[in-house]
Chains A and B, each alone.
Chain A
Amino acid sequence: MAVSEPSRSRDLDKLLLRPGHIIGPNFEPGPELREAIKESVKVLVVGAGGLGCELLKDLALTGFPNLDVIDMDRIEVTNLNRQFLFRLEDVGKPKAEVAAKRVMERVNGVNITPHFCRIEDKPLDFYSDFNIIVLGLDSIEARSYINGVACGFLVGTRLSYDSDDNPRDETVKPMVDGGTEGFKGHARIILPGTTPCFECTIWLFPPQVKFPLCTLAETPRTAAHCIEYAHLIKWDEVHSGKSFDPDNPEDMQWVYSEAVKRAELFGIPGVTYSLTQGVVKNIIPAIASTNAIISAACALETLKIVSDCSKTLSNYLTYNGVEGLHTKVTEFVRDKDCLVCGPGVLIELEKSVTLKKFIDQLEDHPKLLLTRVSVSHRGKNLYMQAPPVLEEMTRSNLDLPLFDLMGGISKDIVHVNGMAGKGDKKQSCLRKLRVVFRGIDGVTDIDMAGGA
């Protein structure tokens, strides 16, 4: 029997070079496949925390040498029980930079570019550069943002759907998303246009528990109520104008001692410093093993999406290690009217409507409620809120009719970027709109309204 030459990809080669029986539809085994992944697949890892550290390691050892990682956080002592790429002496340094450096030190031939910034700080072009985006995040807002961006590429042009209304491969930006909390976690794949996107199944993430202010002020019952009273009400009463800084131990100590006083007043037990931190910072318990399990599942799915070397997850895996061990795969379905991956919100306009008037309408639109709107059409910026230079350059467009700005086309897709939501729950997002001008031939065509 032939003994293989010593090779770094000894184990991975078995999967990528040999034909298989339980595989995806486009699996073409051979050294070419391995080299293609090595040379031309770029993966973005979003988050360099508990999941991100594991993901970078797992992907680097799964044949993906071209990686980027983006994270705005710096390393803290409380990360060290699971974020294995960081050491005590790294505390205070940017996570993305240290994580990238550590993995490159250990895995030869891997190149990881770190980005120490917010995900919103990057231009959309940045994200379009990757073949696949892997998410290791702990916030719904950040997932939502990336989801909007990735789905935006799909819906960015009408040409992205073929004649059967199926999304064209080259415009699909697949995402793999992992999440953990204590002994529980999930891994899912999102193929915009095919599987549900993050927004289609947003109900999977229950809204955060927010205590009604009247409970805090009038009928506190639990230790958490006392802490939130000190944090949300008492702080503002005493420190006029100075905002609370959760990372300042003095501020935290103040909230803690006020919470203790309130708890004593009402005879409520259980206020501790640790609980105070937990409630105020909304700390999610986290352990190394769950992060390892979920990240590994995500890395495997990434390989499968790229290579078809095995059948991909369809499409949502939950893991629960609290009582015994349970895993379950659920096939969720798309929301046909999804604001993010759906055909886009239909906006009917008169030809005379100016860009400014159009922007104002979006604020009142019940489905959109968008403020601070920037508008682009076929890649061209019609109006930009920021940076100031671009704002100034595009300001004169505001008084021109949108119809003219769009080159006199009767109907087309327009992308808007802005803040969605009400009150203090606003978040930045990207929305696709189907703009149709009244009184123009062809408006009754159903191909636009049908969408995807």
Chain B
Amino acid sequence: MAEPKTKYDRQLRIWGEQGQAALEKSSICLLNCGPTGSETLKNLVLGGVGSITVVDGSKVELGDLGNNFMVDESSVGQSKAKTVCAFLEELNDAVKAKFIEEYPEKLIESNPSFFSQFTLVVATQLVESSMVKLDRICRDANVKLIFARSYGLTGFVRISVKEHAVIESKPDHFLDDLRLNNPWPELRRFAETIDLDTPDPVVHKHTPYVIILIKMAEEWTKTHDGNLPSTREEKKVFKDLIKAKMIASDEDNYKEAIEASFKVFSPQGISPAVQQIINDSCADVNSNSSDFWVLVAALKEFIANEGGGEAPLEGAIPDMTSSTELYVNLQKIYQAKAETDFLVMETYVCRYRLIEDEYNSPVQLELQKYLTDEDYCVAVGFYILLRAVDRFAANYNSFPGQFDGEMDEEISRLKTTAVTLLNDLGCNGSTLTEDLINEMCRYGAAELHAVAAFIGGIASQEVIKVFFFFFFCLIFSQWIW
């Protein structure tokens, strides 16, 4: 067996060993292993999830050979779940794989407790009625759920988790937290030891921009009643002052200072997003609170007390033109502050609506607005149609255009179904274009491999993101081509 560290090297560089460990602890259930499901799981098995369980009651048909890489000639007539599972096992011997030959709809009806054993369920190609039931089951059992569906040249991915909490987010913007608009005493004192007007051109050229900006900001406040530049005019004057300090045209540190001067202008304190989270009623923790909310409560404490209105400092600084000595000292000062602050985090919470709520009580105004918006009407049109085809199937036992022949009748039936759905959603009088309805019937519930690989790719990426605390997830997305 390959050294896992080597095998996973290219992804460890993104999510680190901690992230990898979270992935390896997960146990994932896949419902329906057509190409959308198979491709989703393929990407997850390669990345090294803990275990997978493939649920599908169907047998491999000739048509499946044309859209699913994980079945082949020899498997026609055999269990699709078994066949797909065998291929996935080949990809990564570290992943435990099993299959259950059963239709997901049946499990949802007869054995809801089945799902509580998993950390996450990927439900593919389910119709609306099954989605709504499964969503309720998983929400009650606190199991994460991701829906994925490919339909002709369109499809969607939808996440349903009770709460996705992001702590210690790792985005690049962390490097922006240099506190140039509000330096703490140690940083201020360090800046005081440095003379910007040094006669030595080499030293002048190697004074880091952090120091330049802190000193220039300090000087500014002295002559402006303690205020930093805020108006456009003031900001321009401030930048000109920096420029005037240059003694040669090749001083990259001064160029960097001008470029970064917006950091001096930005407001002190925490962002409105963080403010909203610490004001959440869940931040009043009790013994039932999750780890996340306990951390938020600690963060709230910190900001109110030792932080003096600021969040804890992350401590990393970006590379900048500087002498080695000044840079290393600067790094130490930031690091020391971060260690004192201790709580390094950025928080973000996302709560998802139940599918049922979305379906039964849509945000009418938005829906209506998007239906008439040139940029969004096609996407929203397909959103409506993806739901209309499920209603259609419930009434006529097949999807519109699923079989050849009588296309005109199918088109008019789908149109009627869509109009009724729009009325039910409160969008009376709204219509969908003939083009969209025709296209939807042309698709005839086809699961095209490339579309499935695209939707499956996104679904697998979202699975990874909901496992980790440090990535943001999508809320709802769908694609059309």
Contacts and interface: CB of A to CB of B under 8 A. Distances in A.
Interface of A: 1-4, 6-12, 14-15, 18-22, 54, 57-58, 61-62, 77-78, 80-82, 84, 87-88, 105-108, 182-183, 219-222, 224-225, 266-269, 274, 277-278, 283-293, 295-297, 299-300, 303-304, 310-311, 321-325, 327
A266 B438 contact: no
A154 B215 CA distance: 59
B446 A285 contact: no
Given A3-B403, A81-B46, A290 B461 contact: yes
- DSSP majority for the A interface? loop
A8 B62 contact: yes
A4 B66 contact: no
Contact of B46 (A7, A10, A84): A84
A11 B448 contact: yes
10 contacts: A14-B443, A18-B401, A19-B442, A21-B439, A57-B453, A221-B322, A296-B451, A299-B450, A299-B453, A310-B153
Interface string B431-450: 00011101100111011111
Nearest to B91: A84
Given A22-B439, A88-B1, A293 B450 contact: no
B42 interface: yes
A293 B46 CA distance: 15
B449 A292 contact: no
Contact of B63 (A10, A283, A286, A297): A10
Nearest to B331: A269
B472 A324 contact: yes
Contacts, number: 238
A292 B438 contact: no
Given A12-B448, A289-B43, A293-B461, 12 more contacts: A1-B403, A2-B404, A4-B403, A10-B66, A11-B63, A21-B435, A78-B9, A220-B324, A221-B327, A268-B328, A274-B13, A287-B10
A81 B7 contact: yes
Contact of B7 (A6, A80, A310): A80
A81 B48 contact: yes
B223 to A, nearest CB: 33
A15 B90 contact: no
Given A20-B442, A82-B46, A285 B171 contact: no
Given A288-B46, A322-B171, A296 B457 contact: yes
Contacts of A289: 43, 47, 457-458, 460-461, 464
A106 B446 contact: no
B61 interface: yes
Interface string B1-20: 11100111111111000000
B454 interface: yes
Interface in B21-71: 35, 39, 42-43, 46-48, 61-63, 65-69
A7 B1 contact: no
B152 A15 contact: yes
A143 B481 CA distance: 26
Contacts of B447: 11
A325 B458 contact: yes
A232 B378 CA distance: 54
A286 B43 CA distance: 12
A10 B322 CA distance: 64
Interface in B205-224: 206
A105 B71 CA distance: 11
Nearest to A311: B481
B13 A285 contact: yes
B378 to A, nearest CB: 9
Contacts of B48: 81
A274 B439 CA distance: 50
Contacts of A284: 10
Contacts of A304: 481
A21 B47 contact: no
A287 B47 contact: yes
Given A219-B322, A322-B471, A61 B66 contact: yes
A278 B443 CA distance: 45
Interface in B451-481: 451-454, 456-458, 460-462, 464-465, 471-475, 477, 479, 481
7 residue pairs, one from A and one from B, having the closest CB atoms:
A10-B63, A292-B457, A293-B457, A296-B454, A61-B449, A296-B453, A289-B461
A20 to B, nearest CB: 5
A295 B457 CA distance: 10
B36 to A, nearest CB: 11
A81 B47 contact: yes
Contacts of B65: 8, 107-108
Contacts of B320: 221
B442 A14 contact: yes
A216 to B, nearest CB: 11
A61 B67 contact: yes
A267 B328 CA distance: 7
Nearest to B440: A21
Contacts of A57: 69, 449, 453
B72 A106 contact: yes
A219 B321 CA distance: 9
B446 A11 contact: yes
Contacts of A84: 42, 46, 91
Nearest to B39: A292
A9 B64 CA distance: 9
Contact of B69 (A106, A224, A286): A106
B200 to A, nearest CB: 14
B398 interface: yes
A61 B90 contact: no
Contact of B453 (A1, A105, A295): A295
A88 B2 contact: yes
A277 to B, nearest CB: 8
Given A3-B403, A58-B453, A325-B458, A286 B66 contact: no
B446 A7 contact: no
A47 to B, nearest CB: 16
Contacts of B3: 77
Given A82-B10, A285-B11, A12 B323 contact: no
B14 to A, nearest CB: 5
Given A19-B442, A81-B7, A8 B66 contact: yes
